Amino acid sequence: MDDGDSRPPTRPASPSVFVEEPQSLLQILSPLHRATAEDDIRRVMELLAAGADVNEKATDGRTPLHVCAQANNTVMAEVLLYKSASIEVVDHTGKDPLRIALDTGSTEMACLLLSRGGPLDALSGFIVDTVQQEHRLDKRLVLRCLDFVAKEGKEDELLELLSTSMQGAPVSLENALMGILRDAESSHNMVRLAKSLADRKVKIPVASSEQPKEIGHESDPDVQATHTQPDIRSLEEAGESELVQGSETPTKREENYTRSLEPSLAETPDNDASLGIAHSGESVQSTLMGAKSDGGSQILPERWAQTKNFGYRIDDLGDNVAQHEFVSLSSSRTEPSEVESVVYDTQATSESRSRIIKPDSDALISVKAASADTVPFDTSLHKQFSWEITGSEDVTSASTIEQRADSQQATDLYFAAPPSSPPPPPAGHVFCVPLQDLYNRQQLPVPQIVVDCISILEHSANDLSGIYQSPPEPRLVERLKEFVEAGELLSKPHSDQILISFRFTTNGI
Amino acid sequence: MEHRPAVLGVLKQFLRELPDSLLPYDYHDVLMELAQEAKSICLQQVKAIIYALPLSHYATLRVIMLHLKKVSDHRRQAAEGKSRYRSVPDTVYLPSKEIEEMFAPLLIHPAKTTRWTGTNSASRIVIVDLILNECAEFLLDEEHGLNVPNDPQNATRLSLGFPKV
């Protein structure tokens, strides 16, 4: 709709009345609430010592801790928590103190409550509620909280909550969330958090709007295997002769991976392959670093270092194996997902991939590179895993390796893909253009469209204010907008005649 | 068919889709802070900010504010007439801040990266209300020209009499 007031609704009536209007409302509150709102620690202590209930609820169901969270009064909150105030109590709107602190935007209070066992579902609820509304979302607050959760080692719990609430959520919401997590890559903990969320995402089948052409491939792993096997060989052969490390094209990079991966796979067929894994991972990392410095992809060096460290952690190995198995199972299922469509297209050419995901985007190279550093590592890992299970290396395991590698690519692709940015408006348009550009083009300080609109609006002064009360017809607004974008004038200059009246209203709208 | 609501819709759409709002992002946080201040300080600072705006922003803001002033005056007169006729209080016909509420998010876009989160719409309304009702005398100031929106000569006069950015 096209009304100024149809923006996302503002938050419901603020409960800050506790603080802002003490005279009118505190009368119905308990003495403890009042003392809390007035930041009178001595009085609070006296009341508590005299036997006041620290979890006493006001008429709206709020406890003194709610009041503290609203007022961002961490000192008082410490006192109340020391007096064993309940942190999980909810008010009549279903909000606990942590949620109120998050809504208020006070980071210290949120971290304090999180550290005292504040329920994580409040945080996940807050993230899901606000992640899509950019103007309401305080990224720093969310990032600080996520970082804090990661430090406390509770990220798995949070991820569980997030992924359950993400089920059935629109893709745009997921992308927004991934954008947030991607921003958090400055911290090591957050890389882990974001990555594992990205891995989880693959498990959740994504409802895709467009069906890929390669559906036939993914429903049959054997076909896939026979299809990919020669590719690997040719790549290996090419890699033997190719010694350039700083090559820019993705295919050449792949050659490097397969080359460095190949010896470690061949030499360590037994189970204590962890050394070999680390070794191959390292060599690939070094070649990648070389490629990166020459190539100019957009990944930050710290990120590389972090992923590298991340790859060596033993406890992560276990996770990868487990989830790895899961992914290879899920990808052999027949139901197609958006992720897999992207993945299988990448196998054909890199150009086609860039066409599907995002045209002319540098991020693709970084996606490629980001996925590449983990692919050989995980592949060898999977080899170890399948050896344990089957004890032999055959065509099907090769196919699962391929799928595994591709799934990893897909997750990293989610991980590294930027949130959708609007394409720049073409030149010559009126909407979405900076005022200064319009000024330079039209040589009028006031854009023509504004002048037109206002002169039409003021044409007859009879019902000037009435216009502001009747809602516009959205289709007509769209038509008018196209009209303006086509370079037409809405009204003739210096005249009372309104072109629009006979060019539009007779058009059957 | 009444087409003018749609024209108003187009105008609002245009303002909404400006990459930088009429009161630019650079001033967003300052304005939001000012909204908390006392009215006299706020007025002074807002005037300074308006004078420091780029020419195109200043001129467009001026035209729009003149128009809104007209609308609110018209509305007040209509309300008085109606209230005299029906002998009901003015407030029934004059929801005082309706225009300000409608245009506040259009003139001051909610910034994407700011420490002001959540309910700053009230602050925006305060600022727009201030510009509309208190800055009228200098918006209407003849020495800056441009009283008729569609007069190009006046527009050029405006650009001459405008203070340097």
Q: Cα(A370)–Cα(A185) distance, rounded to whole angstroms?
A: 13
CATH of the domain at A183: 1.25.40.20
Secondary structure of B125-149 in HEC code, one letter for each residue: HHHHHHHHHHCHHHHCCHHHCCCCC
SS3 A93: coil
Of A203, A234, A254, the one marking the end of a domain is A203
Cβ contacts of A138 on chain B, cutoff 8 Å: 115, 117-118
Kindly report, residue by residue over A83-139, the tens digit of the pLDDT. Answer: 888 888 888 878 888 888 888 878 888 888 888 877 888 888 887 777 766 656 667
Q: Are residues A73 and A159 in the same domain?
A: yes
Report the gap between the CA of B148 and the closest CA in chain A (Å). Answer: 9
SS3 A366: helix
Q: Are residues A470 and A369 in the same domain?
A: no
- In eight-state DSSP terms, residue A468 is T
pLDDT at residue A201 greater than cutoff 50:
yes
Does residue A429 form part of some domain? no
Does residue A309 form part of some domain? yes
Cβ contacts of B53 on chain A, cutoff 8 Å: none
Query: Using the beta-carbon criterion (under 8 Å), do A10 and B70 form an inter-chain contact?
Result: no
More confident site: A190 or A49: A49
Residue of A381, A415, A367 lying closest to A195 (CA atoms): A415
Residue B91's region, left for phi above 0, alpha for psi from -120 to 50, else beta, is alpha
Q: Are residues A447 and A409 in the same domain?
A: no
Which chain B residue has the Cα nearest residue A2?
A: B9
Of A203, A230, A255, the one marking the end of a domain is A203
Q: What is the mean pLDDT of chain A?
A: 56
Tokens for A407, please give them: 């799934």
pLDDT of residue A357: 38
**DSSP sequence for A179-231:** HHHHHTTTSHHHHHHHHHHHHHHHHSPP--SS--TTHHHHT-HHHHHHHHHHH
A480 touches chain B (CB under 8 A): yes
pLDDT at residue B140 greater than cutoff 70:
no
Q: Cα(A89)–Cα(A168) distance, rounded to whole angstroms?
A: 28
Q: Are residues A20 and A150 in the same domain?
A: yes
Kindly report, residue by residue over A50-74, the tens digit of the pLDDT. Answer: 777 888 887 777 888 888 888 888 8
Who among A4, A140, A490 is closest to B7 (CB)?
A: A490
Query: Using the beta-carbon criterion (under 8 Å), do A468 and B60 form an inter-chain contact?
Result: no
More confident site: B97 or B143: B97
Q: Which domain holds residue A227?
A: 215-416
Residue A268 CB-half CA count within 13 A: 21
Query: Using the beta-carbon criterion (under 8 Å), do B78 and A461 form an inter-chain contact?
Result: no
Does residue A483 form part of some domain? yes
Query: Using the beta-carbon criterion (under 8 Å), do B149 and A493 form an inter-chain contact?
Result: no
pLDDT of residue A425: 44
A100 touches chain B (CB under 8 A): no
For residues B86-120, one letter each, b for 16 or more C-beta atoms within 10 angstroms of the residue's C-beta and e for the rest, the string is eeeeeeebbeeebbbbbbbbbbbbbbeeeebbbbb
Tokens for B112, please give them: 């994407």
Query: Using the beta-carbon criterion (under 8 Å), do B113 and A139 form an inter-chain contact?
Result: yes
A486 touches chain B (CB under 8 A): no
pLDDT-derived band of residue B138, with 50, 70 and 90 as boundaries?
low
Query: What angle, 0 to 180 degrees and rounded to 10, lies between the N-to-C axes of helices A363-390 and A314-331?
Result: 90
Contact assessment for residue A96 and residue A68, using Cβ atoms and an 8 Å cutoff? no
Contact assessment for residue A145 and residue A124, using Cβ atoms and an 8 Å cutoff? no
Alpha helices in A242-362 (DSSP H): 250-267, 274-295, 301-312, 314-331, 338-348, 350-357
Q: Delimit the domains of chain B by residue range.
A: 27-160
Q: Are residues A166 and A287 in the same domain?
A: no
More confident site: A437 or A210: A437
Q: How many domains is chain A partitioned into structurally?
A: 3
* pLDDT (mean) for A211-223: 38
Q: Of A143, A446, A467, A496, which to mutate for an interface test with B (greatest number of B Cβ within 10 Å)?
A: A446
Q: Are residues A280 and A350 in the same domain?
A: yes
pLDDT at residue A348 greater than cutoff 70:
no
pLDDT more than 70, % of chain A: 35
A5 touches chain B (CB under 8 A): yes
Does residue A79 form part of some domain? yes
Q: Are residues A396 and A472 in the same domain?
A: no
Kindly report, residue by residue over A297-310, the tens digit of the pLDDT. Answer: 333 334 333 333 33
Contact assessment for residue A96 and residue A89, using Cβ atoms and an 8 Å cutoff? yes
